[in-house]
Amino acid sequence: VPALVVPLDGPLPLTPNGKLDHKALPAPDWSGMTGDARPADATETRLARLFGEILRLDEVGVHDDFFALGGHSMASMRLLGLIRAEFGVELSIRDVFDALTVSGIAERLAGARAARPALRAGAGAGARELPAAPVQGAQWRAYGPRPAFDSALALRSPGGLDARALADALADVVDRHAPLRTSFGEEAGELRLRPAVEPPVLAVEECADLESRLAELAGETADLTSRAPLRVRLLTAPDGAQALLLASHHLAVDEWSVVPLFRDLTTAYAARVRGVAPDWEPLPVSYADYALWAREALGDLDDPDSAGGRQLAYWRRTLREAPSALALPTDRPRPADAGRAGYTAGQVPFVLDEGLHARVDALARESGTSMFMVLHAALSALLTAHGAGTDLPIATMVAGRSDERLAPLVGCFLNTVVLRTDTGGDPTFLELLSRVRETTLSALDHQEVPFDAVLRASGLPARGPQVTVVHHEQADLDELEGGMGTFQAVPVGRTTGELTVGFHEPRGEGPVYGELIHAVELLGPAKARRLAEELHVLIGHVADDPRQPLSELFAVMSTRSGNA
């Protein structure tokens, strides 16, 4: 059932590409859904404004549940950044999940500790060479044995893109975002950021087969020691169809950089087509500012009293004697050098329809968790059912943009944390969810330590956990496409993990699109499809009846999956 219905006076507005023009739709009036209590003082007024900024609401009542209004784990991290900037104090993500409301969080401000050192604009100005940000170390070590691009994204157009305007727009964006013109190298064992020999420029080519050429370019080798970490090509097929391909590495363009990158590129292109330079607001801080600040805030990892030292001690305790390998369901034996240079990636898509999405959301609200936690718990239960054991180290990515001023930047901010999940003792799914909640919130409160440092300190293999679960925040396609074409991810053909489950959480209602990415050398397509089907069945069952023990869920899951 829709939460709100907004009537239109005429037909649905469409973009030039024939898609729904979300920006032309009338803004929904949520005043009837919120505002159950007005702010009692200036603190609550300021907090309500921050809630509204994150949730895109004009009004928020002081007793309104952050997650019931559309918040999720990533949004709560952004809220913490705004609270830090507004009030000068540090709260934890646990505070948001426990307090939930403006009123509840206001009560926690009084006893909060002082905020970490502030991110200073201009701190990295003028430096030609800088030490890398702490989180870039793990990406650099992953790049070594597998010098390939991590991501390839395309804008598909029926034709008519202006190559000269595109070249100028690309130059505008590269000038705006320094990571796009950066190369990397080590000096005395320390990763350094240096200007690339040449900044990325637009390459234009005609090709006989657009699809095969896109796949070929997406799988190219990346030389990040001298060349820029971004390659851009405009391809034109014999029938005039075009594709603008951007291949990049996470050292410079992480997942959460895609939106500002494409937004700035389409904005600059629209301006250059008109013969003018883009008129955009200057970035509030630079990536160099961030890299210096992140090192300062983390401190010396060898110092037990530093922020980084305290977090690293947490990871040593948490991951002590964690299993180094799980018995995952595979078709083929694992080679001795498994995963060093990555695997061939297979992909199985799946969809949680709107109804199942609503039921998962209801379970998350009932249990004080989130969609991510529900799906993570379901994946953990599925792995245990297939003999992986009850002690499951599972990786997940975090955005790392703890200051809201980092949101419009292109760069590497992401980090990886390990969620050590305990499925032992035949718990009910609700009990497992409670464990997952505790594990996740604790991990997110210690997320700044670089992943490679955590692996070294804990004794886990350098490749990291075999299994990853990833929460993608579904982007506004109109913002990415900018009227230039249709946005599309181009598979790069490789994966570093053995099994990855990702899902794209929409803003509001609608289906949840997911994918199960598997290492083809270990797990064939048929078994991968069966796993995806079983995961879908399990999610549906626990959304309906989360109070059954896992043993009963496994029996039902097997029966329903066999019928499917």
pLDDT value of residue 15? 63
User: What pLDDT is attached to residue 252?
Assistant: 92
DSSP 166-202: HHHHHHHHHHH-GGGGEEEEEETTEEEEEE-SS---E
Percent of the chain with pLDDT over 70: 92
Asked if pLDDT for residue 108 goes beyond 60, the answer is yes
In terms of pLDDT, which residue wins out, 74 or 135?
Answer: 135
pLDDT band with cut points at 50, 70 and 90 for residue 300: very high
pLDDT digits (tens, 9 = 90+) for 31-83: 444 445 788 888 889 889 998 888 888 888 888 888 888 787 778 888 988 88
Q: Which CATH number fits domain 299-475+492-563: 3.90.850.10, 3.40.630.30, 3.30.565.10, 3.30.559.30?
A: 3.30.559.30
The rounded percent of the chain whose pLDDT value lies above 90 is 55
* β-bridge pairing 494-495 and 202-206: unpaired
Give the domain ranges of the chain: 22-114, 130-287, 299-475+492-563
* Domain 130-287, CATH: 3.30.559.10
Q: Looking at the predicted structure, is the pLDDT value of residue 203 above 90?
A: yes
Interatomic CA distance for residues 378 and 373, integer angstroms: 8
Lowest-confidence range among 116-125, 245-254, 437-446, 515-524? 116-125
CA distances 129 to 132, 171, 330, 446, Å, are 9, 21, 46, 29
The Cα–Cα gap between 133 and 76 comes to 23
CA distance 355 to 156: 31
Closest by alpha carbon to 57, among 77, 41, 75?
Answer: 75
Q: Provide the whole-model pTM.
A: 0.86
**Is the pLDDT assigned to residue 21 strictly greater than 80?**
no
DSSP run (H or E) holding 292: helix 287-298
Measured CA to CA, the distance from residue 521 to residue 498 in angstroms comes to 9
Measured at the CA of 303, the angle between CA 300 and CA 306, to 5 degrees, comes to 70
pLDDT digits (tens, 9 = 90+) for 409-429: 999 999 999 999 999 999 999
Kindly report, residue by residue over 212-255, the tens digit of the pLDDT. Answer: 999 999 888 888 888 899 999 999 999 999 999 999 999 999 98
- Angstrom CA distances, 483 to 42, 159, 241, 265, 550, stand at 42, 12, 15, 12, 48
Q: Which fold has domain 22-114?
A: 1.10.1200
Tell me the one-letter amino acid at 140: W
- Which tens digits make up the pLDDT trace of 154-170? 999 988 899 999 999 99
CA–CA gap between residue 30 and residue 34 (Å, rounded)? 6
Q: What is the mean pLDDT of the segment spanning 197-225?
A: 91
Q: What is the DSSP secondary structure assignment for residue 281, as one 8-state letter?
A: P
pLDDT class for 1, splitting at 50, 70, 90? very low
Establish whether domains 22-114 and 130-287 are of one fold.
Answer: no
Q: Is the pLDDT of residue 399 over 80?
A: yes
Which alpha helices (DSSP H) does 368-450 contain, by range? 371-385, 429-444
Per-residue pLDDT, 508: 76
pLDDT of 382 over the 80 cut: yes
> So what's the pLDDT on residue 341?
67
What stretches of 408-490 show up as alpha helix (H) in DSSP?
429-444, 451-458, 477-481
447 — pLDDT class (breaks 50, 70, 90): very high
Return the structure tokens found at 448: 């700044």
SS3 category, 232: strand
**What are the CB-based long-range contacts (under 8 Å, 24+) for 236-240?**
236/159, 236/204, 236/205, 236/206, 236/207, 237/206, 237/207, 237/208, 237/209, 237/210, 238/206, 238/208, 240/158, 240/159
